[in-house]
Amino acid sequence: MLTLLTSMYLVVRAVSQQAEPIRVVVTGAAGQIAYSLLYSIAKGDVFGKDQPIILILLDIPPMLPVLDGVVMELQDCALPLLMEVIPTDKVEVGFKDIDAAILVGSMPRKEGMERKDLLKANVAIFKTQGSALDKYAKKSVKVLVVGNPANTNCLIASKSAPSIPKENFSCLTRLDHNRACSQVAMRCGVSSSQVKNVIIWGNHSSTQYPDVHHAKVNVAGGEKSAYEAVKNDAWLRGDFISTVQQRGAAVIKARKLSSAMSAAKAICDHMRDIWFGTKEGEFISMGVYAAGNSYGIPEDLIYSFPVQIKNKSWKIVDGLDINDFSRAKMDATAAELVEERDTALDFLSK
């Protein structure tokens, strides 16, 4: 009898101690990036192995039949942390009381489309989503913008959600960061886990600046600077940079589809670091508000910086030496972002 009561007590205690589910919305949820992403979120790779999840899948009305298939697959995975899956095309449902928003959906650039037309279409989308976040989401929501042009879309979403702290918005440059890590690792013949503190500065575009002047590589049990480990300055200042900058286009050329698996992995890395923090002595790259930065970057931008994260708050890593080579590339990508911002804000005001 005592054993039965003890067992019942332990069961009740375990149930009572289970964490409250968090609500996570993914937009563009019927797309290929989301298809690679949702399983990882639902099985606990991002928000923790003991964190129940309510997953909200938001997409446009024509994609709802596809979403039904995605819901069936998630149900058929029988994942213990997945409490509920909610497919919807309504922002008031999608953004209601959410803890995390991963905004993957955006208007893709079509053949013959001018960049300003792409910006105009996306300003409309991210103004709507920002306003919905402002109206329906928790004020503590963490928002990650993935849909391109990610930096400027993130800026528009944030400006359209004035009641949510600007620090809660970030855009994805972790894919570029991971690409840079991998290129250095392959060049040195080590695992990518042996490379740390690469930096992506600026825009998630072909003007981004992958910088390894502060990176470290663990080679044969000893830590070296990336330049010392690679032993090829010309490559690091030339083909390495262009390879990372153009990697997305190279994937499209090879696959006839844009990066999905690697983008999903980068999203998981980014959100996990927001939730659990970065490792001591390490920093990662994310697009964040430039206000108060010590690198002379214009303040009203979402710009990719090296950041460290603790208690779900990021801080730009200050005091890194910037040489003339880096300065020119950091300023060039900032100039592109200023132009994008000004065009987008012009559309936003109309």
- Please state which CATH class domain 22-171 belongs to: alpha beta
As annotated, the residues of the chain forming the CATH 3.40.50.720 domain(s) are 22-171
Please compute the mean of the pLDDT values over residues 2-28 and round it to a whole number: 65
Token pair, residue 317, equals: 């890593």
Residue 94 has pLDDT above 70, yes or no: yes
pLDDT band at 17 (very low <50, low <70, confident <90, very high): low
**Span 114-130, pLDDT tens digits:** 778 888 999 999 999 99
Residue 13 has pLDDT above 50, yes or no: no
**Span 47-58, pLDDT tens digits:** 999 999 999 999
- CA separation for the pair 35, 25 (Å, rounded): 14
Residue 14 has pLDDT above 60, yes or no: no
Residue tagged active-site, from 177, 204, 214, 270: 204
Q: Establish whether 233 is an annotated binding residue.
A: no
Find residue 27's DSSP bridge partners. 58, 103
Please compute the mean of the pLDDT values over residues 13-39 and round it to a whole number: 87
Q: Establish whether 148 is an annotated binding residue.
A: yes
Residue of higher predicted confidence among 9 and 26: 26
Please compute the mean of the pLDDT values over residues 322-345 and round it to a whole number: 97
According to the model, what pLDDT value does residue 148 have? 92
pLDDT band at 194 (very low <50, low <70, confident <90, very high): very high
Question: Hey, how many other C-beta atoms are within 10 angstroms of the C-beta on 61?
Answer: 8
Please compute the mean of the pLDDT values over residues 87-114 and round it to a whole number: 91
Question: Hey, how many other C-beta atoms are within 10 angstroms of the C-beta on 47?
Answer: 23
According to the model, what pLDDT value does residue 291 have? 96
As annotated, the residues of the chain forming the CATH 3.90.110.10 domain(s) are 173-341
Q: Establish whether 237 is an annotated binding residue.
A: no
Query: Which among 192, 188, 189 is positioned nearest to 231, based on CA atoms?
Result: 188
**Span 226-285, pLDDT tens digits:** 999 999 999 999 999 999 999 999 998 999 989 999 999 999 999 999 999 999 999 999
Write down the CATH number for the domain with range 173-341: 3.90.110.10
Q: Establish whether 179 is an annotated binding residue.
A: yes
Q: Establish whether 184 is an annotated binding residue.
A: no
pLDDT band at 10 (very low <50, low <70, confident <90, very high): very low
Q: Integer distance in angstroms from the first to the last C-alpha of the chain?
A: 73
- CA separation for the pair 4, 32 (Å, rounded): 49
- Where b means 16+ CB within 10 Å and e means fewer, 175-210 reads bbbbbbbbbbbebbebeeebbbbbbbbbbbbebbbb
According to the model, what pLDDT value does residue 3 have? 53
**Span 147-190, pLDDT tens digits:** 999 999 999 999 999 999 999 999 999 999 999 999 999 999 99
- CA separation for the pair 200, 177 (Å, rounded): 6
Token pair, residue 23, equals: 């609500």
* CA 159, 165, 166, 168 torsion-angle sign: negative
* Mean per-residue pLDDT of the chain: 94
Q: Establish whether 115 is an annotated binding residue.
A: yes
Q: Is 214 a catalytic residue?
A: no
